[in-house]
Amino acid sequence: MGLTVAEKLIAASRVAGKMKPGARIGIRVSQTLTHDVNGVMSYLEFEAIGLKRVKTDLSLSYLDHNILQTDFKNPDDHRYLADIARRIGVICTRPASGICHQLHLERFSRPGKSLLGTDSHTVNAGGVGMLAIGAGGLDVAMAMAGEPFSFPMPAITKVHLTGSLPPFVSAKNVILEILRRITVKGGLGAILEYGGPGIGSLNVTERATICNMGAEVGATTSVFPSDEVTRAWFKAQGRAGDWTPLAADDCAEYDRVIEIDLATLEPLIALPHSPDMVVPIREVAGTPIDQVMFGGCTNSSLQDVLSVAHILGGRNVHDRVDAAIYCGSRQVMLEALQRGAIDRLVRSGVRIMEMFCGACNGTGFAPPTAGRSVQTGPRNFIGRCGNDSAFVYLASPEVAAASALAGVIADPRDLDIQPLPYSVPAAFLIDDSGFVMPDDRPSAAPVRRGPNIPPLPKMEAVPEALQGPVILKLGDHITTDHIVPAGAHYLPIRNNIPELARHAFRVVDGSFPERARQAGEGFIVAGENYGQGSSREQAALVPRYLGIRAVIAKDFARIHLANLANFGLLPFVFTRQEDYDRISQDDSLEADTRELREGKLYTIRNLTRGIDIPVMIPLSQEELDIIKAGGRLNWIRMRATGGTA
């Protein structure tokens, strides 16, 4: 039987397990990436492992998520990240050199190789035919230490593309269409592999846009073949030698096929507050808006910036609209400057921001109270933009530009202009001055830590029985943004767990931290897809720090499930969905945790109602052993010493 692109990628990196859907496999990780918000934890964990140098082919530390530096906290984080990178062999960027995923795509991605990143949108690099996966910081620290990364072998879904996109319908609409069809959990346990004659009409950054938001359907990753389009793009990046071809075998078989005729797509928009609340633009056209944000790792490529400048054409954005643009990299900014696009954007009244994530995670440029914002980023969860009362819509750069001009949500096809005639340049402007190289060999260079970087919290082993109240009962699709917030106020304390814990579940129930502390030990109950969204491991660590020992849910998002195991929390899954209704907030629960064994059926006793509820734990024996030890770092120490945690 022939192999798919995804199977070839996995086979090339596989060091353990069988490639059967659902079976546990381990891969050797070739490259890692971290960013400043999730990276600090990852490097603290790498230090705790005790190695002097990373063992990957290439590791990058991007300073791109929070560069506001409003006080000492953020610059302290950046200084620590620069110091530790130099010492352990990691390339570190200067702050605001670009968004990690755009920068990595341009300068370091490699078809056929594997990449693990502390960010769910690491999957962006699937656009060049790379096996690119998002993970928690501890998993990335382990990969930097040369340990395999393990995950359940995904099913392979083929997205068969035919035709080509109509005018003013750009790549963002392809992934919005997929979100419309399969929702935020439609890709769980799967890799989306793109193929068909339609892919030839999509350039590399368009492919990356589509892969990027594959994170929003919960897919393990997304991938395109590496073809002549990819080759031309690598040549234009001055990296022709990094290109290798990669294609599915003719007789490759897929677990599922999604057919999309690109020519039939129309401009789409995701309504607040979920990326899968997708409707055709005409259904909401005319809705007044207050703000437009161009940028985010989904749509900050050169083509995106040029398309916005082309549509605005030097005309002023509407008086009611505050508009800003974030270029994805120095290359994008320099190219846009050279072509006069930045000049035109300034004349249109668009604010030119630094090259970082910015408003996408609420780091500045928050909408006003109850304001409506059209954004080109990948997520619109409530409160993520820095204002809980705001309404964020997700759309393509073309829809966002047309809306900025009109002051209302607008269809770019109604504009009296031709679309941007764009083709990938023969040679991009190359500027690698934003990368700081590490020392050649292990050094004793000082690593400076500010007061905002406390030591990692200590975790005890799991006791023989858990008993306590349900501190919080939640519905479906709780995101890691719900669990620990993004935004300019919270990103500077992302690595200060005691401080961050004070804001856990802020947008759901602000009393949670205090009630958890008072209970001392307890449970969270949730519906479907608990922990979707960002890969931030603090969403596991913070509840654990507050005394949560187990989460009982209908099911879990992949990265968060791994993070729960890494920090010693038990992830129980209801075996009967209706049992979710047999537990209420404040009910007192008990679970026997003497023996944690793969495949075992466990019982949660609801002491308040006097009933037993069967549950299981969807983890391997090794992960259960890690939980038993109180988390992966304890487990590593136990393995190293042969003793107890």
**Which positions touch ligand SF4 (CB under 6 A)?**
65, 99, 101, 119, 121, 296-297, 357, 360-361, 377-379
Residues 6+ away with beta carbon under 8 Å from 288: 320, 372, 407, 408
Are 131 and 9 spatial neighbours (Cβ–Cβ below 8 Å)? yes
Round to whole Å and give the CA distance between 172 and 376. 8
Round to whole Å and give the CA distance between 289 and 292. 8
- Shortest Å, Cβ 219 to ligand SF4: 15
- Shortest Å, Cβ 298 to ligand SF4: 7
CB nearer ligand SF4, residue 378 or residue 568: 378
CB nearer ligand SF4, residue 129 or residue 377: 377
CB nearer ligand SF4, residue 66 or residue 452: 66
- Shortest Å, Cβ 37 to ligand SF4: 8
Are 428 and 232 spatial neighbours (Cβ–Cβ below 8 Å)? no
- Shortest Å, Cβ 35 to ligand SF4: 7
CB nearer ligand SF4, residue 377 or residue 485: 377
Strands 522-526 and 465-473, sheet pairing: parallel
Task: Give exposure, 388-406, as e/b (b: 16+ Cβ within 10 Å).
Answer: eebbbbbbbbbbbbbbbbb
CB nearer ligand SF4, residue 477 or residue 544: 477
DSSP assignment of 215-256 equals GGGTBSEEE--B-HHHHHHHHHTT-GGG---B---TTB--SE
CB nearer ligand SF4, residue 125 or residue 613: 125
- Shortest Å, Cβ 362 to ligand SF4: 9
CB nearer ligand SF4, residue 14 or residue 121: 121
Residues 6+ away with beta carbon under 8 Å from 270: 176, 179, 276, 277, 278, 380, 393, 394, 395
- Shortest Å, Cβ 522 to ligand SF4: 31
Tokens of 303: 């083509």
CB nearer ligand SF4, residue 106 or residue 119: 119
Strand partners, 291: 322, 373
Looking at the chain, the number of H-run helices and the number of E-run strands are 19, 27
Task: Give exposure, 230-256, as e/b (b: 16+ Cβ within 10 Å).
Answer: bbbbbbbbebeebbeebebeeebebee
| Nearest alpha carbon to residue 203 among 225, 176, 230, 185 | 230
- Shortest Å, Cβ 350 to ligand SF4: 18
| Nearest alpha carbon to residue 105 among 362, 292, 320, 298 | 298
CB nearer ligand SF4, residue 326 or residue 545: 326
- Shortest Å, Cβ 504 to ligand SF4: 20
| Nearest alpha carbon to residue 129 among 171, 67, 191, 175 | 191
- Shortest Å, Cβ 358 to ligand SF4: 8
